[in-house]
């Protein structure tokens, strides 16, 4: 057995990890799908559980020696049930995309129709983007948001009546408003469709009671575990008991082999955190911080898509300021502020250089940023975007970012 430390045995990898740690420490992480996990989560993730094969489910495995793995996976399941009031939970999907694919194959036959949201209006790649394999198997049709930026329920109902989908899908990657699950369920019932919510982005806010919870109402709900929920990278599927067998069989053996039990253990740890009172405070602060950005950017004259935010993210058209999403992303990156370029609804520009940027508050909130710091962050972003061609100013902001982040150390224990 190799008993050397990583620094000793593989300094190349260790150096890159150290540089990445420094990048995370010194920058402003504003990609809304990112977050920082706690040390206990990291500990479980890096544990010897990675050594174990455990195909099957707790109590019904295809491998011996799973008695402790079973305890771990069952804890993860029970905690998810408690957090979301779920009837049945599968914690084995390797990430959000595989979770969604497993659901499609569990509930539909090839060729059947899924009604999801237009990608430029906030939907996710796995909801039927033409570049994904799933569009070769299933028939995806799309609804949109209305002029006010809300989900256009009339359009959704018309589409549902016209296309008679087997499944209606809500839950998005770039949509900043609350979702009225009851109204969508009514439409689904009217056309005899099943309901699926993909809460990958907002699961943490839902867990804390800060956004509507679709789990008690919808047939199936998927989520990632690594976004606002602040766990390791992974996915889970929650469903009504009547779909439990189909979902489980679809994940394994339908789609995956052995589950990653180190991930599942780390997820269970993150779920324990999500059940603590501090997590409610955290989720409230995520929203309060996003509201500061909304107010500041409105004041600066940016156009916020969907007219603002009810959650952790903002989608912002930057073209009125004379730059593109790519230019905005590049300038902000140079200043140590990480966001991502993003399409805006019915974007006239191309995905590789769209009109908008998407930014959010979960990671900064984990660092301890409150309203006061968010004001400073908004001012920095404005300074960068209005001076995006002036490298001296970008460098100046980078220093300000470093000063600010140094007051909120992330992982002092790892330094």
Ligand X SMILES: *Cc1c(COP(=O)(O)O)cnc(C)c1O
Q: Enumerate binding residues for ligand X (CB under 6 A).
A: 33, 95-97, 100, 124, 126, 171-173, 198, 200-201, 224, 235
Contact 381, 393 (CB under 8 A): no
Q: Which is nearer to ligand X, 124 or 260 (CB)?
A: 124
- DSSP states of 212-268 as a string? ---TTTSSEEEEESSSTT--SS-EEEEE-GGGHHHHHHIIIIII-SS--HHHHHHHH
User: Smallest gap, in angstroms, from Cβ of residue 186 to ligand X?
Assistant: 22
User: Smallest gap, in angstroms, from Cβ of residue 126 to ligand X?
Assistant: 5
| Beta-strand pair 194-198/167-170 | parallel
Q: 271, 121, 268: which is closest to 206 by C-alpha?
A: 271
Q: Which is nearer to ligand X, 32 or 336 (CB)?
A: 32
Question: Is position 198 annotated as part of the catalytic site?
Answer: yes
Measure the CA–CA gap between 297 and 307, rounded to whole angstroms.
Answer: 11
Identify the active-site residue in 145, 195, 223, 224.
224
Question: Is position 227 annotated as part of the catalytic site?
Answer: yes
User: Smallest gap, in angstroms, from Cβ of residue 95 to ligand X?
Assistant: 3
Q: Which is nearer to ligand X, 119 or 377 (CB)?
A: 119
* Cross-strand pairs, 151: 145
Question: Is position 55 annotated as part of the catalytic site?
Answer: yes
| Cα within 13 Å of Cα(94), Cβ side | 9
Q: Which is nearer to ligand X, 58 or 360 (CB)?
A: 360
Identify the active-site residue in 25, 73, 152, 198.
198
* Helices assigned H by DSSP within 241-390: 244-249, 261-274, 277-299, 325-334, 362-367, 371-386
Contact 151, 177 (CB under 8 A): yes
Question: Is position 309 annotated as part of the catalytic site?
Answer: no
CA 104 to chain centre: 19
Question: Is position 228 annotated as part of the catalytic site?
Answer: no
Identify the active-site residue in 227, 240, 287, 358.
227
Radius of gyration over alpha carbons of the chain, in Å?
A: 22
Identify the active-site residue in 26, 55, 146, 330.
55
Residue nearest to ligand X (CB): 96
In the chain the first and final C-alpha atoms are separated, in Å, by 27
Q: Which is nearer to ligand X, 203 or 401 (CB)?
A: 203
User: Smallest gap, in angstroms, from Cβ of residue 93 to ligand X?
Assistant: 9
The residues that are catalytic are: 53, 55, 198, 224, 227, 233
């Amino acid at each position: 057995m190799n008993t050397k430390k990583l620094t000793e045995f593989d300094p190349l990898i260790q150096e890159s990890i150290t540089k990445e740690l420094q990048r995370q420490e010194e920058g402003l992480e504003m990609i809304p799908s990112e977050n920082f996990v706690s040390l206990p989560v990291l500990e479980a993730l890096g544990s010897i559980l990675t050594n174990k094969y455990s195909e099957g489910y707790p109590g019904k495995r295809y491998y011996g020696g799973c008695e402790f793995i079973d305890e771990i996976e069952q804890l993860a399941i029970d905690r998810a049930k408690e957090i979301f009031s779920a009837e049945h939970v599968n914690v084995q999907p390797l990430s959000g995309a595989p979770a969604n694919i497993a659901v499609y194959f569990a509930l539909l036959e090839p060729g059947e129709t899924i009604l999801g949201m237009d990608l430029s209006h906030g939907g996710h790649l796995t909801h039927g983007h033409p570049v994904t394999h799933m569009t070769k198997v299933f028939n995806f049709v799309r609804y949109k948001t209305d002029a006010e930026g809300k989900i256009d329920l009339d359009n959704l109902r018309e589409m549902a009546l016209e296309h008679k989908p087997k499944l209606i899908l809500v839950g998005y990657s770039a949509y900043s408003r609350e979702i009225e699950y009851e109204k969508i369920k009514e439409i689904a019932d009217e056309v005899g469709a099943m309901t699926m919510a993909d809460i990958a982005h907002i699961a943490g806010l839902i867990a804390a009671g800060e956004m509507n919870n679709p789990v008690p109402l919808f047939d199936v709900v998927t989520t990632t575990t690594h976004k606002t929920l602040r766990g390791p990278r992974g996915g889970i599927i929650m469903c009504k008991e009547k779909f439990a067998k189909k979902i489980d069989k679809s994940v394994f053996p339908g789609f995956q082999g052995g589950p990653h039990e180190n991930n599942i253990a780390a997820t269970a740890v993150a779920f324990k955190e999500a059940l603590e009172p501090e997590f409610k405070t955290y989720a409230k602060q995520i929203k309060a911080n996003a509201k500061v950005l909304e107010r500041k950017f409105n004041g600066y004259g940016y156009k916020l898509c969907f007219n603002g935010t009810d959650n952790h993210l903002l989608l912002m058209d930057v073209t009125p300021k004379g730059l593109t999403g790519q230019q905005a992303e590049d300038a902000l990156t140079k200043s140590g502020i990480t966001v991502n370029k993003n399409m805006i609804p019915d974007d006239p520009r191309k995905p590789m250089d769209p009109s908008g940027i998407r930014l959010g508050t979960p990671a900064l909130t984990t660092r301890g940023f409150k309203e006061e710091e968010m004001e400073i962050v908004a001012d920095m972003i404005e300074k960068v975007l209005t001076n995006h061609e002036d490298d001296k100013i970008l460098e100046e902001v980078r220093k300000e970012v470093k000063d600010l982040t140094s007051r909120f150390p992330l992982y002092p224990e790892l330094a």
